[in-house]
Amino acid sequence: MSEKLLHGIEFSNLESSSYGALSPFQFHILKTILPDRKDWDSFLEPELKNLPSPFLLPDMFESIQVIRRHTQKKSHILLFGDRDTDGISSSTHLGVFFRELHEKNGGKLTIKTSSANDDYGLCPSAVNFIKAQNPDLLITLDFGTSNYEEINFLASLGIEVIVLDHHEIPIKIPKCKLINPKREDSIYPEKKICTSTLAMKLIFAYHLDEIFKANNQNQSDSLFPDVESIYRKININEYIIKYPELLEKLKSLLDLSSIGTITDMMPLLGENRIIVKHGIETLGKVIKQKPENRKGLFFLMNSLKLNSDKLTSKDLGWGIGPALNAAGRMGKTEVAVKLLLAQDDKTADLAAKDLLQLNTERKERTKRNLFKVEEYFKRKPERTNEKIIFCYEPDMEPGVSGIVATKLVETYKRPAIFITPDHGHGRGSIRSFENENVLDLLNLVSDLLIHFGGHKEAGGFSIELKNIPVLEQKLKTAALEWLQQKVTLSTPEKSMVSLLATDLTDKIFKELQIFQPFGQENPEPLLSIRNAKIISFKPMSEGQHARFQVLGASSKIKFIIWNRAAELETSIARSGSLDLFGYMEENFFNNISSIQFVVTDFQL
């Protein structure tokens, strides 16, 4: 371990805060997270008034007009979403919206998500389904940006298409309204927002449009030669102050948007921080009040036994999100959609139970795959020395390839590809290790792939089984061009503050809470404890994990280490004290809350 880990700022030497009511401890961590002070106010006070206007998104204004035209004509509207949590959440957002706006007024509404046998995006089965449905308006959610030929084909059939997506922009854009913040012509200030947020923005824009039109209904069109530019200048704060019902509508949409933001690993800064901060407050009301359009979410959160008084981003990322995602992973996305769209208690309760059963099955499948992966690399240890970890065997089980690929990255500290057989061909996931763009690599081998897509950090693809050995060989060459440098192990992260055991109290934990919500690009602050003397060491799960105490630390703080208990126990036997590195969190189990220090690293 690098010695620089010992060079954290000493707790006793922290400088006094010169910013508001921050303690020296909080002040130092804030400076570490955000060196530029101009970002401090928005970080500490993530207010809804600072959300950008939805009309800054490309094609937003035009899409609202398209939707209004089709709802007035009582057209057939088809929503088609991806199978992951972001796709499910965004499909639910628009499903509820069009159910009230369109279906109840005589329009036809169909809601579909990709599931069991579907590849990513507008694959042949998806296109065939859309052709059979023959909608007047198709809205794709969380895919579509890269489906140039498929969308142009559907447009040639007379189907109007709106795409809500946040994936990378290809060279050619299909014939549709493409609401994607990553477009080159986009003036939207945030580029990394999820599709659930785009769906929320679309709904909010529709209501803004209604209010704007009502206030200017007597104005001549000649007064507005460029209406779209006027919409782009709309001040969100003015409207939510003047129209309280608009503010309540906005708040009600933040629950699903925050779930999509966390599970799709969007950076928790700027707009995403605002959405998650207030989305958690909305979820807190959902778990207690059971709103009419959130019955399914109410039953799911209560079934997960979440702390209704203190929800955190961890509950979204480790509880709600994985449960929803399990449906798609197990080929039954419709269970999650049925849950979130449920309009009565019985349907919602049964769907929540079905979803949790799927999640249990998903966990068991993941365990079986991870065991097979471990055995695979024991037989073929030379494969762990490649620049990219590649794993495929015919007996691997489908549906959890993304989870396994992530585990491989964590274990071997380099990009990883994991492939499973799935309905006659291979379905794989690729995950980056550091700053690699996995889509660039997939592009280099695209001639072997049936379909591929995803984000810079995480992608998915399908491939003919016979081409998998060819893919592995081609990747060895392509990786040289892709990585451009040798893959090396990362340097352990430097702690923000170095503490003595006696400094570690519940007060420290409370002071850390101003930095919530935690997540991508805003993780729990890494702390170090110098010369910790470990006592009451209790192994768990056959020695894989352990709980213990540290002499001198507050008895209110429990210590835990995951997956490295045996290694820690050996180090304890070698030395009377250790330096511990980790973060503090609140653990809620059996309706009892406790504060724990999660050890992520240690050294003699």
Same domain as 62, residue 150: yes
Report which DSSP code applies to 16. Answer: P
Instruction: Determine the pLDDT at residue 442.
Output: 87
Give the closest residue to 552 by CA, choosing from 505, 485, 491: 505
- The answer as to whether 39 is a domain residue is no
Burial class (CB in 10 A: 0-12, 13-18, 19+), 577: middle
**CATH number where 125 lies:** 3.90.1640.30
Average pLDDT, the chain: 89
Give the closest residue to 582 by CA, choosing from 524, 520, 526: 526
C-alpha pair distances (Å), 604 with each of 9, 563, 569, 577: 19, 19, 12, 7
Same domain as 391, residue 496: no
Instruction: Determine the pLDDT at residue 4.
Output: 38
Find the DSSP H helices in 342-461.
345-379, 401-412, 438-444
Residue type, 505: T
Domain count, the chain: 3
- pLDDT exceeds 90 at position 97: yes
Instruction: Determine the pLDDT at residue 187.
Output: 94
Instruction: Determine the pLDDT at residue 205.
Output: 94
CB atoms within 10 A of CB 184: 7
Find the DSSP H helices in 385-535.
401-412, 438-444, 468-483, 506-512
pTM greater than 0.85:
yes
pLDDT digits (tens, 9 = 90+) for 534-577: 999 999 988 889 999 999 999 899 999 998 899 999 999 988 89
Burial class (CB in 10 A: 0-12, 13-18, 19+), 217: exposed
Same domain as 305, residue 177: yes
Instruction: Determine the pLDDT at residue 329.
Output: 86
**Rounded Cα gap, residues 197 and 201, in angstroms:** 6
**Rounded Cα gap, residues 540 and 558, in angstroms:** 14
Same domain as 145, residue 68: yes
Same domain as 528, residue 478: no
- The answer as to whether 223 is a domain residue is no
- pLDDT exceeds 50 at position 510: yes
pLDDT digits (tens, 9 = 90+) for 52-95: 999 999 999 999 999 999 999 999 999 999 999 999 999 999 99
**CATH number where 465 lies:** 3.10.310.30
> Which neighbouring-strand residues pair with 451?
462
- pLDDT exceeds 70 at position 17: no
Same domain as 504, residue 467: no
- The answer as to whether 222 is a domain residue is no
**CATH number where 598 lies:** 2.40.50.460
Last residue of a domain, one of 354, 371, 404: 354
Instruction: Determine the pLDDT at residue 569.
Output: 92
Per the structure, the complete domain to which residue 507 belongs is given by 3-27+492-603
| Percentage of residues of the chain with pLDDT beyond 90 | 61
pLDDT digits (tens, 9 = 90+) for 98-136: 999 999 999 999 999 987 667 777 888 899 999 999 999
